[in-house]
């Protein structure tokens, strides 16, 4: 047999599958039969337990009725009244023989045995009888199952009344072979009654099992039982049983009587085994039939497939003209496969056309996409190169489109893009101009054979049209766009270069807030310098090129140094000293400011700890940026720095600007409140130069106001500046804040600020910012100006505010 042929593999697969299914079914059925049989056995045992209990109850009721009959006999009561024990014993024996009772006795009102069919009743029998008499009382009867001399009995007690109680009749039936045989007849269960011996072993009392198995049963049972127990499997000789053990009674001497109900597993499963043999025979016949049927079907399948394979080769070679004709009778899958091949032949050509359309056209706006726009631009560049002319492209990115998309939904956004595309096409002036959607909310316009003046005129026209609101579904949207212009040959020689330069100009327009930006090589140079600066900043932090500078803050009343503002300076290995104005704004823009702030806090903490060791307790102020205020991890980093340097929170004051707060007031206030709760002091820096100052000042947890130096520098000569400073000081004090004046550069300014009630000052009069390692030396030689108590300087009059 050649296994590479599909026909042979189909036949083999059919046979293997059928065999696997039949074997799996056989084992599943076998397992199900076994589980069902065991479940059925378990149910029968539970029912058997109820039947056995009911048989015992009926036996007790029968015995009780017989005892009542005896107790109501007049002659018997007369014999009891005359204490004729011979007559009493005879009546007990005769009546017990009639009802099958082997034990009978009369208990007197003094609870002594007056008469008995037993010459010497055992202590177990007497104790059980007396307990039953107590339970029965004067007006009732009682029954119980007890162990007497190693055998199980059912005993009943009935009072004898004439008319008062003159004694009790106690009668007992043995739970013997007859009872278990009756139980066997009722339930088809094997029933055994066993009683535990003093040594803990089980002794057979009665059983329906064959003698060999009955002899083996006691050794298979657990030594002790506390409750009824199910034994799923019990092996006795060659037979497997499922058993249920019932506790019947427990004697005073800790003897226990149990009933074991058993059902043969083999007998329960036997009917199902015959069913399995029938199923196995059917499976064998099915396999034989399947072999012939699969061979026939395999040949019917593979013949047309070979023909279709030849057809597929032609299709693979690109022959879509030849009609597919495979002669297959009927309307089955093979014929439908042939029809599908024919449908595929005609569909492939159509799909190739559709693929080409999708590759070059935007499916949302039906405008050319980026690929086709690049091809059209390449063609326009070629024409311009041949004619010595120019061509331009306009690239634009819609403003606020993402916000519109998020608020009004993607469906609205799609409709908006379609409207924008149509509006752009309507604004084209030159016949050869083309609009394209490059992706997202980016559009481009190709202006072949145009000069810069015409390109600018077209760009302004486009921008003005986009400034007009767009109405869709009763919603009016204002968009706008930033437009970048690049030209051939000034901005680039290839289509990729022109697209890239137009995109750069577009992003510059958006960043600057300008409507139109023409590409200039200086833009790229600025971008490269920015990237280089970011790299150098990261390297500077790793190489410790930053230095901590400090500018002292003094108490204006006493001249005592109370703190310092921590500042950063950059010593570049090649460019030398770089002022903060050259790199701090860029660090804030890129997010590097977070790393720089963490470094500043760490260095300030180190210097503060060093000063404390020398006996100077100063508060260092560190500036926070907008990004720092939005950083939810900042409080944790500050706490780590304080703990690392063993500083209290009062050692640091964090300065913030009004503009930094306004970027995201909610998040900024959350961060400030967390810092305030840690015990850190907060200061408003450059107060008076921001906006919404009073609105947020009353809500922020600040401790200090720093008056911007632009008001302090000229206040000696400018009454308006002096008024602003005095008003700010009064405002701060009224709010319970400490006020610090920046830009203190002369002694008259000191005196004027002191007269106004300003708390602290900072400026060149005391010292310019100095390296941190020189701050201690300056601190040791600092001398406050003389005559602080009386001002020798005449200052401008400041009207009361």
Give residue-wise pLDDT tens across range 234-243.
888 878 888 8
Task: Tell me the pLDDT band of 247, cut-offs 50, 70 and 90.
Answer: confident
Residue 553 pLDDT class (50, 70, 90 cuts): very high
Q: Which of 22-31, 296-305, 604-613 has the lowest mean pLDDT?
A: 296-305
C-alpha 308/C-alpha 666 separation (Å) is 71
Give 186's DSSP letter.
Answer: H
Q: Which residues pair with 564 in a beta bridge?
A: 552, 620
Could you report the per-residue pLDDT of 40-82, keeping only the tens digit for each? 888 888 888 888 888 888 888 888 888 888 888 888 888 888 8
DSSP-derived secondary structure letter, 791: -
Residue 53: both structure tokens together: 């209990």
Q: What is the pLDDT of residue 793?
A: 36
Which of the residue ranges 286-300, 335-349, 423-437 has the most confident prediction, judged by mean pLDDT? Answer: 423-437
Which residue from 161, 160, 125, 159 is spatially nearest to 144, judged by alpha carbons? 125
394/481 Cα distance (integer angstroms): 11
Average pLDDT score, the chain: 82
Q: Which tokens in the block code for residue 612?
A: 């404390």
Bridge partner residues of 264 (DSSP): 241
Distances (CA, A) of 239 to 500, 533, 570: 91, 92, 97
- 331 vs 647: which has the higher pLDDT: 647
User: Which of 582, 596, 678, 589 is CA-nearest to residue 626?
Assistant: 589
Question: What pLDDT was estimated at residue 794?
Answer: 37
Confidence (pLDDT) at 799: 41
Q: What pLDDT is recorded for position 311?
A: 73
- Least confident span in 163-172, 264-273, 558-567: 264-273
pLDDT at residue 623, as a whole number: 93
pLDDT of residue 786: 81
pLDDT higher at 479 or 764: 764
765 vs 500: which has the higher pLDDT = 765
Place 690 in a pLDDT band, splitting at 50, 70 and 90.
low
Q: Could you tell me how many residues make up the chain?
A: 801
Q: Which residue has the tokens 């030689």?
A: 781
Residue whose tokens read 């599958």? 17
| Average of per-residue pLDDT across 459-477 | 85
Look at residue 524 in the predicted model and tell me its pLDDT.
63
Q: Once rounded to an integer, what is the mean pLDDT over residues 422-442?
A: 89
Is residue 280 over pLDDT 90?
no
Instruction: Give residue 791's pLDDT.
Output: 41
Token representation of residue 31: 């397992």
Q: Is the pLDDT of residue 143 over 90?
A: no
pLDDT at 527 over 70: no
The token pair that represents 237 in the structure block: 């000789």
Lowest mean pLDDT among 153-167, 297-311, 671-685: 297-311
Is the pLDDT reported for residue 7 higher than 80? no
Q: Partners of 249 in the beta sheet?
A: 257
Is the confidence at residue 319, as pLDDT, over 70? no
pLDDT digits (tens, 9 = 90+) for 568-598: 999 988 888 888 887 887 787 667 888 899 9
Residue at token pair 């072999």: 291
43, with CB counted inside 10 A (0-12, 13-18, 19+), is: exposed
Report residue 76: phi and psi, to 5°: -65, -40
> Which pLDDT score is estimated for 792?
38
| pLDDT of amino acid 542 | 86
User: What pLDDT shows up at residue 696?
Assistant: 63
- Asked if the model's pLDDT at residue 699 lies above 50, the reply is yes
Q: Residues near 103 by Cβ (< 8 Å), separated by ≥ 6? A: 96, 116, 117, 118, 125, 148, 153, 155, 170, 171, 172, 173
Residue 800 has pLDDT above 60, yes or no: no
Mean pLDDT is highest, among 95-104, 393-402, 777-786, for 777-786
State percent of the chain over pLDDT 70: 88
The per-residue pLDDT for range 189-235, each reduced to its tens digit, is 888 888 888 777 888 888 888 888 888 888 888 877 767 788 888 88
Confidence of residue 534 (pLDDT cuts 50, 70, 90): low
* Sheet strand arrangement including 151-161: 113-116, 103-107, 165-174, 151-161, 142-148
Mean pLDDT of 338-349: 74
pLDDT tens across 77-130, in order? 888 888 888 888 888 888 888 877 888 888 888 888 888 887 777 777 778 888
Return the sign of the alpha-carbon dihedral for residues 696, 698, 703, 708: positive
Cβ atoms 263, 51 nearer than 8 A: no
Q: Which pLDDT belongs to residue 632?
A: 82
User: Which of 206-210, 327-331, 787-791 shows the highest mean pLDDT?
Assistant: 206-210
Residue 253's pLDDT band, with cuts at 50, 70 and 90, is low
Asked if 251 contacts 270 with a C-beta cutoff of 8 angstroms, the reply is: no
pLDDT interval class at 468 (50, 70, 90)? confident
Which residue did the predictor score with more confidence, 216 or 792? Answer: 216
Residue 404's nearest CA partner among 463, 460, 481, 464 is 481
pLDDT-based confidence at residue 645 (cuts at 50, 70, 90): very high
CA 262/CA 307 separation, integer angstroms? 69
How does residue 693 score in pLDDT terms, banded at 50, 70 and 90?
low
pLDDT of residue 605: 95
Candidate from 475-484, 508-517, 561-570, 593-602 with smallest mean pLDDT:
508-517
């Amino acid at each position: 047999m050649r296994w590479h042929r599909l026909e042979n593999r189909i036949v083999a697969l059919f046979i293997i599958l059928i065999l696997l299914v039949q074997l799996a079914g056989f084992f599943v059925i076998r397992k199900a039969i076994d589980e069902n049989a065991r479940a059925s056995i378990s149910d029968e045992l539970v029912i058997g337990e109820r039947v056995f209990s009911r048989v015992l109850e009926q036996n007790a009721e029968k015995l009780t009725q017989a005892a009542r009959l005896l107790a109501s006999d007049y002659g018997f009561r007369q014999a009891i009244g005359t204490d004729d024990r011979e007559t009493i014993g005879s009546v007990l024996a005769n009546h017990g023989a009639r009802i099958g009772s082997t034990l009978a006795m009369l208990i007197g009102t003094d609870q002594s045995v007056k008469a008995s069919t037993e010459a010497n009743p055992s202590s177990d029998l007497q104790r059980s009888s007396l307990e039953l008499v107590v339970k029965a009382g004067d007006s009732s009867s009682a029954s119980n199952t007890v162990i007497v001399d190693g055998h199980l009995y059912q005993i009943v007690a009935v009072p004898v009344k004439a008319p008062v109680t003159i004694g009790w009749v106690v009668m007992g039936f043995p739970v013997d072979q007859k009872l278990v045989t009756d139980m066997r007849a009722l339930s088809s269960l094997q029933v055994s009654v066993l009683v535990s011996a003093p040594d803990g072993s089980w002794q057979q009392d009665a059983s329906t099992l064959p003698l060999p198995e009955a002899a083996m049963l006691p050794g298979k049972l657990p030594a002790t039982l506390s409750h009824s127990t199910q034994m799923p499997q019990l092996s006795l000789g060659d037979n497997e049983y499922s058993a249920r053990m019932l506790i019947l009674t427990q004697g005073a001497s800790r003897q226990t009587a149990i009933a074991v109900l058993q059902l043969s597993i083999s007998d329960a499963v036997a009917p199902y085994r015959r069913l399995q043999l029938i199923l196995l025979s059917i499976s064998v016949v099915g396999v034989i039939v399947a072999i012939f049927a699969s061979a026939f079907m395999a040949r019917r399948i593979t013949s047309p497939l070979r023909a279709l394979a030849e057809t597929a080769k032609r299709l693979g070679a690109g022959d879509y003209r030849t009609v597919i004709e495979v002669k297959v009778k009927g309307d089955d899958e093979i014929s439908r496969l042939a029809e599908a091949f024919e449908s595929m032949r005609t569909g492939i050509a159509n799909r190739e056309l559709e693929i080409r359309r999708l590759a070059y056209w935007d499916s949302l706006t039906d405008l050319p996409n980026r690929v086709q726009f690049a091809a059209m631009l390449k063609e326009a560049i070629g024409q311009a190169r041949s004619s010595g002319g120019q061509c331009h492209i306009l690239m634009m990115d819609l403003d606020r489109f993402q916000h519109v998309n998020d608020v009004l939904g993607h469906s609205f956004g799609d409709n908006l893009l379609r409207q924008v595309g149509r509006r752009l096409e309507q604004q084209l002036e030159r016949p050869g101009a083309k609009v394209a959607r490059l992706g997202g909310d980016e559009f481009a316009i190709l202006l072949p054979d145009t000069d810069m003046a015409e390109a600018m005129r077209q760009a302004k026209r486009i921008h003005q049209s986009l400034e007009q609101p767009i109405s869709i579904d009763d919603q009016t949207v204002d968009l706008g766009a930033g437009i970048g212009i690049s030209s051939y040959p000034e901005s680039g020689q290839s289509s990729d270069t022109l697209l890239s330069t137009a995109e750069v100009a577009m992003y510059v327009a958006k960043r600057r807030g300008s409507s139109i930006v023409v590409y200039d090589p200086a833009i790229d140079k600025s971008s490269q310098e920015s990237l280089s600066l970011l790299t150098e900043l990261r390297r500077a932090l790793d190489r410790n090129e930053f230095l901590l500078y400090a500018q002292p803050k003094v108490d204006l009343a006493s001249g005592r140094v109370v703190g310092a503002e921590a500042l950063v300076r950059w010593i570049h290995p090649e460019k030398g000293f770089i002022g903060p104005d050259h790199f701090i704004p860029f660090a804030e823009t890129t997010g590097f400011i977070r790393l720089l702030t963490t470094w500043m806090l760490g260095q300030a903490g180190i210097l503060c700890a060093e000063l404390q060791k020398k006996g100077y307790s100063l508060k260092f102020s560190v500036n926070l940026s907008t990004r720092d205020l939005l950083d939810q991890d900042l409080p944790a980093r500050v706490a780590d720095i304080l703990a690392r340097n063993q500083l209290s929170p009062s050692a640091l004051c964090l300065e913030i600007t009004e503009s930094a707060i306004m970027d995201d007031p909610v998040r900024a206030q959350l961060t400030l409140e967390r810092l305030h709760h840690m015990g850190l002091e907060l200061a408003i820096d450059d107060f008076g130069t921001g906006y919404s100052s009073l609105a947020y000042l009353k809500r922020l947890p600040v401790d200090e106001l720093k008056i911007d130096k632009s008001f302090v520098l000229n206040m000696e000569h400018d009454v308006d500046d002096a008024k602003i400073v005095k008003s700010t000081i009064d405002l701060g004090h009224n709010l319970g804040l400490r006020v610090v004046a920046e830009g203190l550069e002369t002694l008259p300014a000191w005196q004027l600020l002191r007269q106004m009630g300003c708390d602290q000052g900072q400026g060149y009069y005391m010292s310019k910012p100095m390296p941190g390692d020189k701050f201690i030396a300056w601190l040791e030689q600092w001398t406050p100006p003389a005559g602080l108590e009386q001002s020798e300087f005449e200052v401008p009059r400041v009207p009361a505010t």
